């Protein structure tokens, strides 16, 4: 009797996998596409002298929060307007908020390069000559 239950569970499991094959295959295709794009970017970075800086800016951009949009009222006319918030500060236009965000990204990347020599020196202290 237990063999029959095991076979039934195995068949239902196979049917469930077959029913979900399209989402699974789509996820695998997206994963493969990301890997191909990453490898192509690595090859392009080998020939780009500024690749290290671009990579640092991308990492800094991931660490900086996004700009949030909300609907508010104009203080003078009480008309509905769209405002943008970045790091707790409200901006009237998306361009102003984007400029503030870009300044924050560049400042974070610069801080990395300021700290880099000390980190490299500290890393070298543990090595034996």
- Per-residue confidence (pLDDT) for residue 71, from 0 to 100: 87
Domain ranges for the chain:
1-47, 49-129
| Report field, pTM of the whole predicted structure over 0.95 | no
C-alpha Rg value of the chain to the nearest Å: 26
- Per-residue confidence (pLDDT) for residue 32, from 0 to 100: 96
Assign 30 to helix, strand or coil: helix
- Per-residue confidence (pLDDT) for residue 125, from 0 to 100: 67
Please identify which residue in the block is written with the tokens 């900086």: 64
Query: Residues near 60 by Cβ (< 8 Å), separated by ≥ 6?
Result: 105, 106, 108, 109, 112
- Per-residue confidence (pLDDT) for residue 81, from 0 to 100: 87
Do 104 and 64 meet the contact criterion of CB atoms below 8 Å apart?
yes
Model confidence pLDDT, tens digit, residues 95-120? 999 999 999 999 999 999 898 888 88
- Per-residue confidence (pLDDT) for residue 79, from 0 to 100: 85
């Amino acid at each position: 009797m237990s063999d029959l239950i095991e076979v039934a569970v195995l068949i239902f499991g196979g049917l469930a996998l077959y029913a979900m094959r399209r989402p699974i295959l789509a996820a695998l295709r997206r994963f493969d596409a990301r890997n191909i794009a990453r490898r192509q970017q690595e090859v392009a970075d080998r020939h780009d002298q500024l690749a290290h800086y671009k990579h640092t800016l991308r990492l800094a951009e991931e660490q900086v929060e996004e700009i949030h949009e909300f609907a508010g009222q104009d203080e003078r006319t009480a008309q509905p307007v769209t405002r943008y918030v970045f790091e707790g500060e409200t901006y009237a236009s998306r361009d102003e908020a984007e400029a503030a965000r870009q300044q924050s990204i560049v400042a974070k990347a610069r801080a990395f390069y300021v700290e880099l020599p000390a980190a490299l020196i500290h890393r070298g202290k543990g090595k034996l000559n």
